[in-house]
Amino acid sequence: MTHSARPRPLGDLRILAVEQYGAGPFGTVHLAELGADVIKVEDVRTGGDVGRAVPPFQQGDDSLFFETFNHDKRSVVLDLANDAGREVFHDLVRASDAVYSNLRGDVPAKLGLRYADLAHVNPRIVCVSLSGFGMTGPRRAEPAYDYILQGMAGWQALTGDPDGPPTKSGLSLVDYSGGLVAALALLAGVHAARRDGVGCDCDTSLFDTAMSMLTYVAAWTMAPGSTYEPERLAYSAHPSIVPFQNFRTADGWIVIVCAKEKFWQRLIDVLGIAHVRDDPRFAGFAARRANRAYVVATLQDAFATRTTADWIAALTAAGVPCGPINDVRAALADPQTAARGLVTETEHPAFGTASWIASPVRVGDPPAHHRRAPQLGEHNRVVLRELLGYDDARVRALRSRGAFGAKRLMPYEEPSSG
């Protein structure tokens, strides 16, 4: 087999994804880009994944929001609360490696998505739940969203200027991190199931994820006898290292990171303030932290004299870690973005050329092509007939019993061609 003919890394993995909106789909879209067959199980009565209705760039049952999180997947519609729908779902479980959901913590039990509910169908099945608070604990039945978790887990209290209000990140980082955690748990669970012949539950949550990312801030706060209180610092400054923050230039902003002493020495040479080497207030990490206000003011006076581009050129040449504060368009236009092949395109029936950022998870060669996100129920016919072997009579019987919850003509109802 030639290198180019090798199957995708996860080409032998099939996932049933009872997912919606951002967190869950963000986890599985990376697995799909790695070759996994991700089959979205959607409820047509509710319009399927709620992400299909998110504006702007929304039309019918589709949106660019949905496209971003669901390209390279397939979609079937099933009513999991219906006995006939459960029959179909169980047949899909027999042909799959994992069931992945992002629902409230008490819902997997109600819908029968836990390992205890499905082990009799497929003893090797791995059941991944990504919920707001997990399937245990006093908050298990509470809904949760990224904004809420950034507040509850202390993130907002750490973000923003000292005199400003608590502030969330500009991106849904709890959702995205939670999706990656759930995807990692799924891969570990499938690995163990293939080794041992027994599946398991993977109980992941956005709350757990957000709390785990407090890392050293939590450790400092919990240290024996600690009086440490995390605080917000101006210009997005690091709590320990100075300078490690944003500075205003003559025409914009720049980020400077002197995480090592050698970077500090190079910085002051480029800024033309080498004389501060003789000032004890600048001598080492501890001294600069103790005199943060004076050190930062001295550096700010220097940075204000030239443009961001000028400083980037000079500092990069000197080996000082730095970068511009880009807006989104500028980030997309960065030559590194193109060099890494990060922008991916497909043709879309509603939006023309649809673009998104490719997965950063790279294993072997990148995929040769991508598929647009599926229309609602687009793959019912191929999944039911080719994967499960249902004939038209079986599909009609299941439909009459409410398996698909259909209120309108769907792709799986089209007449067979053969």
Residues 118-150 pLDDT 10s = 999 999 999 999 999 999 999 999 999 999 999
Positions marked active-site:
238
What's the CATH number where 291 sits?
3.30.1540.10
Query: How many domains are contained in the chain?
Result: 2
Residues 279 and 181 reside in one and the same domain: no
What's the CATH number where 69 sits?
3.40.50.10540
* Global pTM exceeds 0.85: yes
Burial 179-197, CB ≥16 within 10 A → b, else e: bbbbbebbbebbeebeeee
Q: How far apart are CA 255 and CA 258, in angstroms?
A: 10
Residues 203 and 302 reside in one and the same domain: no
Residues 313 and 391 reside in one and the same domain: no
Cis peptide upstream of residue 243 (ω within 30 degrees of 0): yes
The answer to whether 294 and 237 are in contact (CB under 8 A) is no
Of 267, 297, 324, the one marking the end of a domain is 324
Of 265, 299, 324, the one marking the end of a domain is 324
Residue-level pLDDT, tens digit, the chain, 418 residues: 445 578 899 999 999 999 999 999 999 999 999 999 999 999 988 889 999 999 999 999 999 999 999 999 999 999 999 999 999 999 999 999 999 999 999 999 999 999 999 999 999 999 999 999 999 999 999 999 999 999 999 999 999 999 999 999 999 999 999 999 999 999 999 999 999 999 999 999 999 999 999 999 999 999 999 999 998 999 999 999 999 999 999 999 999 999 999 999 999 999 999 999 999 999 999 999 999 999 999 999 999 999 999 999 999 999 999 999 999 999 999 999 999 999 998 888 888 888 989 999 999 888 888 999 999 999 999 999 999 999 999 999 999 999 998 654 455 455 443 3
- 220 within a domain of the structure (yes/no): no
Residues 197 and 318 reside in one and the same domain: no
